[in-house]
């Protein structure tokens, strides 16, 4: 039997297979509200046969958006708009759906990628003042963020909790806390972006404090849900956050009841030097899984079914995350099942598309 198509448990959540659709920002919301684009986008992915679909980074506060068009979950309007989309998607797909809760920190207030992605300054239309651990901009030419006070950190934790409760009301199956890609929680972790002298800066214990406090608060607020964390395992830059520190964080999360860790890398500094290639992050996931015992999702140029199968069969990870690859090929799980001799869910409207050479591929 194919390892990729065996069931997996993420705490209370049971998945039919080990293909996870990773969060991918769409920059197509209105004031944080999901739109008809999300219905089209998520509806397509929900017909893929993957084991789990995780919604894009959703800001817990308006100033936590990467761009003015980011998805959010900070108010009733955001919740109602997302409910409309989810109701339509769920009417036609049984796929479990999670959400990634996020705050962009110093990388907030930017134009969308296809508009250049540059910072929008507070004095420019639709821009705002960014917030971060310390007064250090992401790039030298950008306006510096304002450091968060300890009182504001408390309010931030409350915002994550409030968004998690909204996610529960929406019937979402899983919450992924975004601690990666140079956004706020990652900024607190890395000594390259965190120069604080209080209990949230300095030592590894102090730099991990905020992410752990957010995790604990969310886990306590929604104890019946699967809750995990996305991490950048290394900054790929000298004197930054690295794999050794990530292993320590993973062990601390495991001790607090974390259900999974989703392993990415980079995003904190323009000085990063990433050795990009097929499966370039899988060794990071393997080390974290081996030393922490946490259920681990690997991601990063995992493009071929046989590549994914080998990764799981060798014990380097428990699941694979697909992002750009599944945007390019939304039926990747179907093709993987056919190549690996497995079966996969398909909606009845699509059963007639089963290839003659792969009879028995589809199940309802």
Residues in the chain: 364
| Cα torsion 162, 163, 168, 173: sign | negative
DSSP code of residue 175: E
Q: Which of 183, 280, 350, 356 is catalytic?
A: 183
The mean predicted confidence, pLDDT, of the chain is 97
So what's the pLDDT on residue 22?
A: 98
Residue 3 lies in a domain: no
Distance between CA atoms of residues 246 and 204, nearest Å: 10
Position 311 pLDDT exceeds 90: yes
Residue 146 above 90 pLDDT? yes
Structural domain range at position 103? 8-363
Q: Which CATH number belongs to the domain containing residue 351 in this structure?
A: 3.20.20.70
| Structure confidence at residue 341 as a pLDDT band (50, 70, 90) | very high
pLDDT band at 88 (very low <50, low <70, confident <90, very high): very high
298 pLDDT above the threshold of 90: yes
The H or E element containing residue 189 is: helix 184-189
What is the rounded CA–CA span in Å between residue 311 and residue 313?
6
User: How large is the C-alpha radius of gyration of the chain?
Assistant: 20
Contacts 24+ apart (CB under 8 A), 137-144: 137/106, 138/106, 138/107, 138/182, 138/269, 138/270, 139/270, 142/106, 143/119
Q: What angle do CA 328, 171, 29 make, to 5 degrees?
A: 50
Q: How many helices (H) and strands (E) does the chain have?
A: 10, 14
Q: Is residue 225 part of a domain?
A: yes
Token pair listed for 297:
């999702």
In a domain, 12, yes or no: yes
183 counts as catalytic: yes
In a domain, 43, yes or no: yes
> What are the DSSP calls for 226-254, one per residue?
EEEEEEES--SSTTS--HHHHHHHHHHHH
Task: Give the per-residue pLDDT at 1.
Answer: 86
In a domain, 2, yes or no: no
Please report which helix (H) or strand (E) contains residue 363, including its range. strand 362-363
pLDDT one-digit tens code per residue, 314-324: 999 999 999 99
Q: Is 83 helix (H, G, I), strand (E, B) or coil?
A: helix
Over residues 253-293, the pLDDT tens digits come to 999 999 999 999 999 999 999 999 988 999 999 999 999 99
Per the structure, the count of domains in the chain is 1
Has residue 314 been placed in a domain?
A: yes
Q: With respect to residue 296, please indicate whether it lies within any of the assigned structural domains.
A: yes
Q: Is 144 left (phi over 0), alpha (psi -120 to 50) or beta?
A: beta
Find, among 168, 163, 182, the residue nearest to 86 by Cα: 168
CA dist 129 and 344 (Å) reads 47
Question: Can you give the pLDDT at residue 364?
Answer: 79
Distance of CA 149 to the CA centre of its chain: 26
Sorted by sequence, the CB contacts under 8 Å of residue 24 that are 6+ apart come out as 56, 323, 324, 327
pTM above 0.95, yes or no: yes
Is 351 inside a domain boundary?
Answer: yes
Alpha carbon distance 6, 18 (integer Å)? 7
**DSSP class of 30:** B
Give the side-chain half-sphere CA count within 13 A for 201: 17
Residue 21 has pLDDT above 90, yes or no: yes
Residues 154-188: tens digit of each pLDDT: 999 999 999 999 999 999 999 999 999 999 999 99
**Helix%, strand%, coil% for the chain, nearest 5:** 35, 15, 45
């Amino acid at each position: 039997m194919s390892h990729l198509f065996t069931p997996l448990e993420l705490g209370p959540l049971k998945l039919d297979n080990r293909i996870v659709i990773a969060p991918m920002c769409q920059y197509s919301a209105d004031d944080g509200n999901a739109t008809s684009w999300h219905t089209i986008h998520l509806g397509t992915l929900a017909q893929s046969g993957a084991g789990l679909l995780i919604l894009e980074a959703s800001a817990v506060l308006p100033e936590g958006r990467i761009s003015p068009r980011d998805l959010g979950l900070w108010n009733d309007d955001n919740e109602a708009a997302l409910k409309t989309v989810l109701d339509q998607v769920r009417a036609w797909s049984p796929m479990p759906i999670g959400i990634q809760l996020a705050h962009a920190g110093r990388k907030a207030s930017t134009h969308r990628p296809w508009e250049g992605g540059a910072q929008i300054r507070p004095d420019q239309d639709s821009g705002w003042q960014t917030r971060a651990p310390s007064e250090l901009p992401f790039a030298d030419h950008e306006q510096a963020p304002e450091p968060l006070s300890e009182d504001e950190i408390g309010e931030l934790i409350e915002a994550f909790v409030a968004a998690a409760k909204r996610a529960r009301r929406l019937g979402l199956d899983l919450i992924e806390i975004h601690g990666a890609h140079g956004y706020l929680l990652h900024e607190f972790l890395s000594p390259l972006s965190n120069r604080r002298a209080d209990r949230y800066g300095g030592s590894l214990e102090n730099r991990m404090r905020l992410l752990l406090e957010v995790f604990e608060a969310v886990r306590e607020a929604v104890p019946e849900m699967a809750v995990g964390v996305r991490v950048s395992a290394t900054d790929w830059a000298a004197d930054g956050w690295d794999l050794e520190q990530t292993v320590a964080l993973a062990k601390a999360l495991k001790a607090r009841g974390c259900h999974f860790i989703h392993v990415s890398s980079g995003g904190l500094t323009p000085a990063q030097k990433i050795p990009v290639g097929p499966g370039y992050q899988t060794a990071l996931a393997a080390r974290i899984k081996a030393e922490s015992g946490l259920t681990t999702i690997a991601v990063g140029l995992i493009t071929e079914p046989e590549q994914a199968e080998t990764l799981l069969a060798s014990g380097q990870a428990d699941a694979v995350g697909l992002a750009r690859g599944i945007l390019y090929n939304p039926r990747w799980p179907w093709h993987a099942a056919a190549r690996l001799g497995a079966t996969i869910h398909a909606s009845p409207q699509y059963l007639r598309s089963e290839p003659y050479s792969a009879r028995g591929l589809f199940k309802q």
